[in-house]
Structure formats: structure tokens, C-alpha cells
Chains A and B, each alone.
Chain A
Amino acid sequence: MKEMIQLEKREFFHSIRLDASLCKGCINCLKRCPTEAIRIRKGKAAIKKEYCTDCGECIRVCPHHAKKSTFDSLDSMADYEYKIALPPPELYAQFNNLEEKSLVLNALLAFGFDDVYEVAAAAELVSEITRKLIKESHINKLPVISSACPSVIRLIRVKFPNLVENISPVVNPAEMAANAALKRAIIRTRLPREKIGVFYITPCSAKVTDIYSPLGTGKSQIDKAVAISDIYPRLLPLMKDIAANEGKYEFPKEINKAGRIGVSWGAHGGEAGGLLTDNYLAVDGIENVIQALEDLEDSKFHNHKLEFIELNACSGGCVGGVLAVENPYMAKVKLNILRKYLPVSGTRMDEKVPPYAYHDEKIEFQPVFRLGETVEESINLMKKVDELINKFPGLDCGCCGAPTCRAHAEDVARNLTTENECIHRLKKSIYKSSESELTVHES
């Protein structure tokens, strides 16, 4: 994976890949991509890098499994002397009848990790810092938009320039967990940084991207992103063994820390719930997220003093990630059951907020959707688009390889494709020529 990344421009690195041998060039992903990042070219679904936010919708809808998310192999554990696992709360929700999350954490140790740091525990710190942030924020700076979903942050960065400043300056729980776990590991082992491997167990493609090409921070402290779907079948037998042979293993108790607030982060509404305010909006599903951001930008929510907005690209929240195994709604039920007898919060900021809790780089708006380099050029191109659009039928059929007639007109105006890629337009011109031939015969 490392070589692959070196080949890519860091800024728009993506974890979503196309297996061209499986792609039929159908329009399923084309029509579902929320940022219109896909074009069918030469019969294959190509992704425009600058537009893609790694939300995973194309992976979800592809009937041929041609779209995939890359992630790191568990074999990469061999590259490190000391290995730390960062399990997110949605991992717990994959297992049936799980009564104690310690069983999952211990299974990770039995699998070969030297330490485990719950992302849910770090999430409680993020909640604590965010509560303080909201309290101290000027009313004009509210609402704070969650920085937890990397896909949403990437969406705001390219589509909502006036909302970039509302993004929370607090790092996401996985990054928080990585920093805290590393600190602990270095004290414990005295090993140099490069001998310690920090492994995040990811539910989705967007988080893989965020590790290799982070926003808001120069470099992620997470070294590898391994998939829930990859580790799940390997944890199952270990969990059964541990449960059946009490006393066979000895596990440290302090790794099982997170309470209700942290565990709730795994599903829709959990993050906002941890802020202990009712003035929040929690939205899940990328289409709903886009609508909410549009409405927020159009000041449609200004009659209500919102303090916080939780946005999850996946329906159901992180349990709905494309690399999860369980049905997201069932997973939420399991999280609810699991958290029932947990303390409200198991982690507390014991001292000053560490500097790593905040972004150290500004997230900047990227105008990737603008038509021209200058306003002048954009005016000319937009005029061309408006002329072209009248030539197309407005069916948005996708046969030309663009998701809508407007997108096709824009591509033609930018000289990326031709008018006659539109099959309806081609048909018309064929009829026209055969008609003129008819007229010739008649006369």
C-alpha cells in the first residue's frame, strides 16, 4: 500500500478503487455518487479524484462488486515490534450476544496485539473537550460541526466554503486514541516511534483515506488501517476460546474503560448525545447530510440556536460503514444492549487538554467544482453549458457516461467529451439525415 500512496498526489488520495475486470460500465454507481465524481469512460466507471469524498456509496450499490475499499493487511503487524490495536465502538456491535466488551478487547490481545486502546474511550475525551468548546464559543461561531466523519469533512471542503469555519477543531476519536496510546507505549517500552505500530480497525473507506491523507493534521499517528470485515472472523474463535477457558489467559483490566457516552459514538446520534444538550442536529446518510448542509448554508435553521451538528455519511452512523459486517440497524440494537450497564463515562481529561487534541492544520476550501480558472472564463464556460443543455433531452439517463445532462454539458464545455456521446442526440441526427435522404428521393 505504501508504494501505491507514493504514486498518488497526497492531497486527493483515495481508498476507493475500481476493479476494471469486474466493471460492466452500468450506471448504478454513476447515478448514486453524491458529488457526481464518476464518469463511465471506455465502458468503465472512472472516479474524478478531486470530487470524490470516499463516502462508499459506489461500493454499496455496485452489483458486480467492482468498487472496493483498500485497507492494510493484518500481516503488516509483523513489521512492528510493539503493536497497538485501536478498536472503534462499532466493532463491538458486530458480535451476537456480547455481554462484555472486554471479551473483544482481550481477543485482540490474544490475536497478537501488545496493547489495546478503545476508540470509545478517546471519544469520551473528544466529547468532554467539545462540551467545553461549545460553552466557551461565541454564539456567532455556533453551531460546531463534528469533525468525526472524514467523508463529511471532505464534502464540506469542496462544496460548502462558508461552513468550513464551523468544523470542530478537535481531532476525531481515532486520532485522539492513537496519540494517547502512543504516549503510553513509549513510556512503557522506551522503543523508538518507528518500532511501534498503531493499528486502527476501520469500519469504512473514508477513514482509510483519512489516515493516509489526513485533513486538519499534517500526519496521522495511525500507521495502519485494518478492516472490521477482515479481523472479525479471526476474533470470533479467539472470543469463544477465551469465554470457554476462564483462567487460561490473563488480561490487564485497565484497557476496558469506555462508558455509555463513548460506546454510543458507534451509531447515529451517539456523538451528539454525549454533549448533554438538546440543541443539536444529528443527520445520517450522505444525501441527508448534503440537504442539511444546504439548509444550514441557506440560513434555514437560524430560528433555532443550534449548538452542534453531528453528520454521518453512512446511514445509521459508523455501524453503517462499508467495511462493517452486521446490518447497521441491528448493530445499533446491539450497542444499546451492550451499553446498558456501563457507567455514563469511563474516561476523563485528568490534566490540561493535550495539544494533539486539536487540528494543527487549517482545513481550507478547495474550489474543485468551479468551471474556469477565473470568473471571466467561468462566465464563458457557463454560457456554453447553458447553450449545450438545450441540445440534450433532460432525461439524465446516464448513457453518455455522465450522471446528468447538465454534468454532460459541463464535460463537453470543458472539452472532456463530445456532444454526440449523448445517444438521444445521435439518434436525432441519424433521423435527420435519413429524412433529408427521403426528401431527395421524393423530389
Chain B
Amino acid sequence: MKMKIGFEVHEQLATKRKLCCDCPTNYRDAPPNTNVCPICTAMPGAKPMPPNERAVDAVIEIALMLGCDVVIDQPIYIQRKHYDYPDLPAGYQHSSTPIGVNGELVGVKIREVHLEEDPGAYDPVAGTVDFNRSGIPLVEIVTEPDMHSPEEARRFMRQLMLVLDYSGKVRPEAGTLRADTNISIEGGTRVEIKNINSTKGAYHAIKFEVMRQKGLIDRGEVILYETRAYLESQMITIPMRMKVVDFHVIPDPDIFPFIIDRAHVEAIRKRMVETPHLRERRLVKQYQISQAAAGVIVSERELADLFEAVAKQIDPKLTATWFRTRLKKVLNYMKLRAADIKFTPKQFAGLLQMVKLKRVTPEQGELVLRELVKKPAEPEKLLRKLGLAPLKRAELEAAVVKAIKENPKAVKDYLKGRKEALNFLAGKVMKLTRGRADPRRITKLLRAKLRSSKRRKKKRA
């Protein structure tokens, strides 16, 4: 089944001040309607301040990261887009003409990137509006309808989120994304879906919508051009009771248009963050690591930063393996993001050095890593704290002998050819040595001891 899917994605920009006034943007931390002034509540007669340049620069940088051409040497207008809703104090929303055009990300064309302003937060149940959010700058990214399945759409959204995350220009906290998507399947009509708040939500909304539209077509019904809302709790879309509105777009006469010059764009390009897909390519080449490992490493900007800092100090391949497996595992287990990591690259390199020199086993290393994540310290110190000082050969041998002696049935089973019995015995040794021994050394030693005891038995017989 052929289908076309496109997105309009809005994310809040991480500026300290709102777009057209000096109010702070930490709207979640402030009691309702305290981060407000006559401008962002559109009190009669209030005029906007000149647009926040940091917001404009952030949009330019994001546009560049999405491979867009930045619109230079011609006026960019801040326009008024009118609609009637309780969250919009002025009755119109500020929305710039395109700042970036003709971009591309994972094969999806980016039609345009521009600047917008967030409205307030309306609670229809309580009938209240909180204007703390009103006037916070947003970046809006509009794609061409270039995706052809829910999976492709999901892949694009993931990558887009990653790019935005990398840019460091959008708010890091979850729940600031707002996306609209439009879907048309062959023989149908374009339908818009609003109210999507996550990549997962986008995927489910599109999946539902495709099924719904296909069902209609199969039954010979007509698909209406309409705007629907996604209900996250039920993973369905429902028609929005919204008249088709004309936004009456006019350039805002309160704000002079601004012009971006080439030198400014180049200055931003120079300092701009490397995009995840370019970084992935570079990591593979520069550190000779696998594509898969690089993919995991670039999944968070801070993770990739840490990787490069560690890989400069110690074997990059070993580092990559550890990042992809054990570090990722520990972080997932503790529900942490790379940004939450407190230990230093040097501490992590120290740990890997111990592993490399076989002073600790990888398993022990992982135990140290857990501590490192919980409460950073020098790996040596953690090793002592965990009682993981290297085991003497004599101690290990004693433990092996003890395990063999105390578990005659397992020994017997093993000698009869039941290989699992060896694992059982190894577990016992592990317990006796309180996990300090390398499992590979244990099995090796166990096998040797058991082999010799078998020989002895044979001799006696």
C-alpha cells in the first residue's frame, strides 16, 4: 500500500528569555502566571521587544544541522497568524517566514525551518490558562511528505530528535515536543493529525490512521479532508471539532523584518555542533570501530563526547565495546542518561586499563563501573571497597579443591559426561571466592583438577 507521510515538528528553544519580552522561560518551575508581563499576555497597547537574537541564531544552527540553505540577504518577516483560542492572548501567534529551506535528514526532505512562539497552556477542564509558556520561542520544522510507512516515520522522528538533542538548542526536558503529521494513502485524501507528543506517539498515531483510512477505502467510503487529534491514552485519532480557519497571515507591523547575512551564517556554521550521522561516520573512520558500536555511541551527544574523551586515553576498540555493552547496560538499569554521568573520562579509562591488564575480570569491571556511576571515585579505591583485590592462585586453587570435595555428586555427574555440572561447580567456586575470580580461570582450573582426579581414579582402578 502506497502512502505519504509528512511532519510539522515544534520544539521549544532553550533560551533564557522569551522571544519578544524579557520574561524567563523556566515555566514549569514557576507558579502559574508569574513569568508574565504586559507583552507576553498581550495587554492592550503592549508592543513586542526586538526578537531574541539567541532564538534566531538557534533556528539558524538547527537549520544548518538539517542541511538547509539559510535564507540570507532578504528580509525575514515575523508574521501574525491569527486564530481564536483561549491559549492565545493576542489572538495571533508570531511565526517567521522560512529561515532555512531545502534541507534533508535520513532521506527525508526538509521543506522549511522557521521561528514561532508558544501559546499559553490551556486547561479545558479547569477553564484556566497559564501564560508562563506564552511567548517562549519554538523552532518549527516542516518536512515534505517523504515517508512511506509508519516505521520510516518513526526512524525519521528518532533521528530528528537526536539532531535537536545534539544541537543543544532545544529544551532537554521531555514533553516539549509537539508534532502534527499528515498522511495520505493511495486513493485517499490528506488527513492531518495534531497532538502528537513523542516519537512513539507519532508511530502509533500513523499506524492507527493508516488502518482507519485503509478500512474506509476498502469499504468504498470517502476519506474526508480533516484535522484529527491523537489520543495518546487510547492510541487512536478522533476528529477535531475545528473549523477550517484562515489564519489571516500578515507581516507583524510591530516588528521590523530582519536580514541574515552570509558572514553571520558562516560564523554559526563554524561553531555549530557536528550532527549525529556525520559523527557516527567519523567515529567509525577515526577510531576504527564498528558501525554498530558507533551507532550506539552517537545515540546521545554526551555519550559520544565521553567516548571520545576516553578513547584518547586508551584502546578505542575496547572503549567502544564497553560503551556499547556494559556502560549502556548499567545506564539502562539505573534509568540514567549519559548526561547524568558524573565520573570523569580518566576514571573510566583507569577502569579499562585494569581490565586490559587482566587485573580485574570484565565482570568485576562491571561491578566497579556500577559503583563509578553511583558514586564516582578512583577505580583503585572502588576495587578495594568492593573487596575485589586480585585473588592469589593458591586461594583460587584452595577454593576449587574445596568445591570438588564438597560436591561429590556434581563431580560424579561431570565425570559421567554431564557438562552442566561444571557450571554448577564453577558457581560454587565463584561463591567461595566472593566473585573475585575470573570465571574463565575457574573453569580452566576446575577442568584440570577434575581431569587429574579422573586419571587418579583410573589408576586406582
A and B assemble together: no
Interface, chain A (partner B; CB < 8 A): none
- Give chain B's interface residues, CB within 8 Å of chain A: none
